[in-house]
Structure 1
Amino acid sequence: MKNFGLLIIIGFMTLNIYSQSKNFIDQPFLETEVETDTLVIPDKIYLTIKLDEEDNRNRRSTEELEKSMLMVLNSLDIDTDKDLSLLDFNSDFKKYFLSSQQVLKAKMYSLIVNDARTAGRVLAGLEKEDISNVSIEKTEYSKSEQLILELKSKAIVKAKQNAENMLAPLNQKLGKAIYISDTNTASLTRQLQGKVAGVQIRGMSSLYGTRAKEDILIDFEKIKFSSKVKVTFVIE
């Protein structure tokens, strides 16, 4: 008897779920999918600077190279306390053993600058101080989270406009949204990491081919952000 009562309850729950599903399907609805995107100029450019006693023409010590690097960065009004950091927990003590008698020290720094012009000035200034082992590691956009939210909002607005335009010839009215799906989680469709793609360098014979004194001009490819949403509206 108890089992019979349980079957009745389960049967009622199944009927209730089926009824709700059927009511949703039976409603006239319109579904539209929209994607919005934009291109932005990166405003966080990561440079890696290697200071090596062996890697300079005049065999200057790491300490001397470090002083020259700081002089260049300070002359460009770069906040070295905030934007310059030492890489690797043991970089201060990283050593290259060339022989049992000789030890050369090296340090690697990470520097963040906010635009291509400053990056070019850093490269040019360091080159004049015989510091040429500098690489561009990656670029980022600092307001990416806010930008993604804005793209989502624009996609929703565009989805509603599309739906209204589709119903206009039918003289039907668009109802409320009953389902919204962020189909690609507002993905960053292009992020430059590692060896940076989309970079063009002009000046100093495309970086150190000669010892020319002109500025180094760098052009970074813009970063593309996109958001795709799918919205289902009731047709009233």
Structure 2
Amino acid sequence: MKKTILFIATVLFTTTIFAQSKNFLDTPYLETQAQVDTMVTPDKIYLNIIIQEKDTKGRVSVEEQENQMAERFKTLGIDLDEQLVIKDMGSNFKKYFLRQKEVLKSKQYALVVYSGKELGDVMMALEQLDIANTTIEKTEYSKMEELELELRTRAVQKAVQKADALTKPLGQKVGMAIHIVDNSQYYPRYNQAPMMEMKAVSADMGQAQPLDIDFEKIKVETTVNVKFALSN
């Protein structure tokens, strides 16, 4: 008896699914695909800075270099509380052994800047302070989520325009959307190892000028597939 009830329930469920599929296929529809894209410039650039004691006769301590760097950054308008942090929070100092006799202290920082111009100012300042161990780790576009939503809206609007263009010569009208598929790609918030171009700026009266740095723009694209019901 239980087997009979189970069989009847399975048949009813299968019939319902088939009927729904058949109804969907019986509906006249038009499928369109639309893609939109844009290019954005990173607005957050993350630097890794390592300050190490100088292995010279007149050794300069890490603390002295740190204070010099902090003062120079302040003159550039950098908010030290918001933009500069110590990376190794568990241990402020890392030790480097030289010829297994001397120990040179080192301190590592993370700095975030918001434009190529600000980055050029920082790189120039660090060069003048003889702090050469600086690398760019990653870049970020902070409004990526808002941009992706905007592109999805534009893609659906473009799909509607394409559907109208295809059906107008046939004397048909585009009805409601009966199926939408979002085929957008996922874009990570961070862009590791970004490409950049440094443009030398001519010196004025012998004064060194900050670097003009352009970052490779990030391409963001969205694709949607939409099925529209058709009516005469």
TM-score, length of structure 1 as denominator length: 0.88
The amino acid that maps onto 2:170 is L
1:6 shift after superposition: 3.4
* Amino acid corresponding to residue 12 of structure 1 in structure 2: L
Whole-Å Cα distance in 1 between the matches of residues 28 and 16 of structure 2? 21
Q: Distance in 1 between matches of 2:58 and 2:23?
A: 82
Matched residue of 2:191: which SS? coil
Equivalence for 1:61: 61
Equivalent position amino acid for 1:171 in 2: G
Partner of 2:226: 231
1:145-167 deviation per Cα after TM superposition (whole angstroms, max 9, x unaligned): 11111111111111111111110
Alpha carbons of structure 1 residues 92 and 58: separation in structure 2 relative to 1, 3 Å:
same
State which of 151, 171, 194 in structure 2 corresponds to 1:196: 194
1: CA distance between counterparts of 2:149 and 2:44? 20
Once the two structures are superposed, the pairs formed by residues 66-77 of structure 1 within 5 Å of their partners are 66-77=66-77
Q: In 2, are the aligned partners of 1:139 and 1:192 still within 8 Å (CA)?
A: yes
Q: Letter of the 1:203 partner, please give it.
A: A
Map of 2:92 onto structure 1: 92
Question: How many angstroms does 1:189 deviate by?
Answer: 8.3
Question: Runs of 5+ in structure 2 lacking a partner?
Answer: none
For structure 1, which segment, 126-135 or 140-149, has the greater mean C-alpha deviation from structure 2 after superposition?
126-135
Supply the RMSD in Å over aligned alpha carbons.
2.4
Which residue identity does 2:191 align to in structure 1? L
C-alpha spacing 1:177/1:55, structure 2 compared with 1 (3 Å)? farther
| Cα separation, partners in 2 of 1:29 and 1:105, compared to 1, 3 Å | same
CA separation in 2, counterparts of 1:109 and 1:22? 63
Give the TM-score of the pair, scaled to structure 2.
0.90
Could you tell me the percent identity over the aligned residues? Answer: 44
SS of equivalent to 1:130: coil
Task: Read off the aligned partner of 2:198 and give its amino acid letter.
Answer: I
Q: Deviations over 1:183-218 (max 9, x none)?
A: 13x43289631x322x1113389xxxxx97222111
- Measured after TM superposition, the shift of residue 100 of structure 1 is 5.2
Seen in structure 2, the aligned counterparts of structure 1 residues 117 and 76 have a Cα distance that, compared at 3 Å, is same
Q: How many residues align?
A: 228
SS at 2:130 equivalent: coil
